[in-house]
Structure 1
Amino acid sequence: MTISQHCRSLLITGVDTAVGKTRITRALWSYARRYRPQERWGIFKPLQSGTAVEIGDGDYYCQTLPLEQTAAEVCPLSFAAPLAPPIAAELEQRPIDLGPVWQTYRQLQERFDYLLVEGIGGLGSPITWEWTVADLAAAWKLPIVLVATVRLGAIAQIVANIALARQSKLEIRGLILNCVTLCSDTDIAQWTPSEFLSRFTQVPVLGVLPWGQHSNEQLAQMIAEWPLELLWR
């Protein structure tokens, strides 16, 4: 299997579920539209679960961003239960066939200059009975950016996921910290100190996204000063 050589892909993965991968993906796409309009950017979520309790990511991205994609092209495989995909698929008595997922990925690679691939759950989350997100990233040769929440205990999660990434021989382009609740500067400095994390893990911390509801333009402006060139080297 081969993919287009001109398209650059990046996996936005997390240390856990509900850490803000979708928010970070939306921010990166909005930044690209605002500051790099000459390039074509797409979004891809290989598979998802939990559509019975919340809007699917394909529909969410199409509703919040002016994408040149359908919801099915953003996310070709969905399951209803908010569980790990192999368990959700078993409840529906459906197999997880990654063939059509790979085919959609290849098609998007041909259409776009850059493709933001959002992971499922954390880097160690299972996507089939045999594969984790880390295995998928390794098979597709995807560099990653790791998203973590600002909270007590985050450092241990970050260190563990970076260890998993390195065990899987993944290229880690950076770490992004996301506030899923209101965080003070003191909270950020004590729970997820950027300088300490960068030195301890040898992974650059690109920035901290503050808590709150923000427009696409606001998200783009917030991350405009980050060293995003590290993601596309």
Structure 2
Amino acid sequence: MSIYFIAGIDTDAGKSFATGLLAKYLLNKQVNVVTQKFAQTGCKGVSEDIQTHREIMGIELMDVDNDKTTCPFVFDYPASPHLAAEMQNETIDIDKINNSSKQLNDMFEIVLLEGVGGLNVPITLDYSLLDFLEEKKYPTILVSSSKLGSINHTLLSLEILQKRNIPLHGLIYNHFPSNSEFILKDSVKVFEHYLKKMNFNCPIVEIPVIDDFKNSEVDFSAFFK
């Protein structure tokens, strides 16, 4: 039984699609897998990202989704978790998230826990997602993308993961929006160089631009040997 944390270099790196594709790959390998969302802002009811995961996996919402075990904190306002919670007179209880993770880890072989925003998002004014990862030491899969600025965001993310001694399990390079083949090829080259330079012994898996998630699969075998 294992918990992997899916982090992003920023808000729109493609964490939800990557998490869903990871879960779909494992499900097709007969692994009893579930996804979890740290917290969700900008929606009501069942987390929109959990719904995205299930759609990509090709399954219906589960009981643990409908009772919000997979995402205990859902806030209406589309903002950083600390602000979205404050606007509803709530505070994100880390113990509740940990208890949900434990419950899911007891029920499934692998839990894929998707973060919220980038790495240094404040959960409260005095506690960030980085603080959480530093405490838990979950093997982390970092999702990058081909948007302009992503090299900077990725290298900063790698540097802070190294500084906080957070284990990096792998790097996902999301090709979307794929505006330049030159950028795609060069970015992978840069990431490979810096992973080696920073002594991160982990693979890179690339996700191509996908139009039909139901009939597509990405090979994540490098992550799960």
Q: Same fold (TM over 0.5)?
A: yes
Q: How does 1:173-184 map to 2 (within 5 A)?
A: 173-184=169-180
CA–CA separation in structure 2 for the residues paired with 1:186 and 1:214: 25
Contact 1:159 1:201 in 2 (8 A): no
CA–CA separation in structure 1 for the residues paired with 2:149 and 2:172: 16
- Call closer, same or farther: CA 1:74–1:217 in 2, change over 3 Å: farther
CA–CA separation in structure 1 for the residues paired with 2:53 and 2:224: 24
Task: Name which of 27, 49, 61 aligns with 2:21.
Answer: 27
Matched, 1:199 2:220: no
Other-structure match for 2:213 = 215
CA–CA separation in structure 1 for the residues paired with 2:74 and 2:47: 11
Other-structure match for 1:159 = 155
Structure 1 residue 99 displacement after superposition:
2.6
- Call closer, same or farther: CA 1:173–1:207 in 2, change over 3 Å: same
Structure 1 residue 64 displacement after superposition:
4.4
Contact 2:7 2:15 in 1 (8 A): yes
Q: Which residue identity is paired with 1:104?
A: S
Task: Name which of 97, 106, 118 aligns with 1:110.
Answer: 106
Secondary structure of residue in 2 paired with 1:13: strand
Structure 1 residue 189 displacement after superposition:
1.5
CA–CA separation in structure 2 for the residues paired with 1:201 and 1:73: 35
Work out the number of aligned pairs and report it. 216
Unaligned runs of 5+ in 2: none
Q: How does 1:31-180 map to 2 (within 5 A)?
A: 31-34=25-28, 36-37=29-30, 39-51=31-43, 56-65=48-57, 66=59, 68=62, 69-71=64-66, 72-180=68-176
Structure 1 residue 27 displacement after superposition:
0.6
Structure 1 residue 62 displacement after superposition:
3.8
Structure 1 residue 18 displacement after superposition:
1.0
- Call closer, same or farther: CA 1:60–1:23 in 2, change over 3 Å: closer
Contact 1:15 1:158 in 2 (8 A): yes
Other-structure match for 1:227 = 222
Contact 2:20 2:52 in 1 (8 A): no
Structure 1 residue 159 displacement after superposition:
1.0
Deviation string for 1:34-89 (max 9, x for gaps)?
1x21x31111112111116x962233334443264324122111111111011111
TM-score where L is the length of structure 1: 0.84
CA–CA separation in structure 1 for the residues paired with 2:178 and 2:98: 38
Structure 1 residue 122 displacement after superposition:
0.6
Matched, 1:9 2:7: no
CA–CA separation in structure 2 for the residues paired with 1:216 and 1:63: 8
Contact 1:183 1:211 in 2 (8 A): no
Q: Percent identity?
A: 23
Structure 1 residue 142 displacement after superposition:
0.6
Q: CA RMSD in A?
A: 2.1
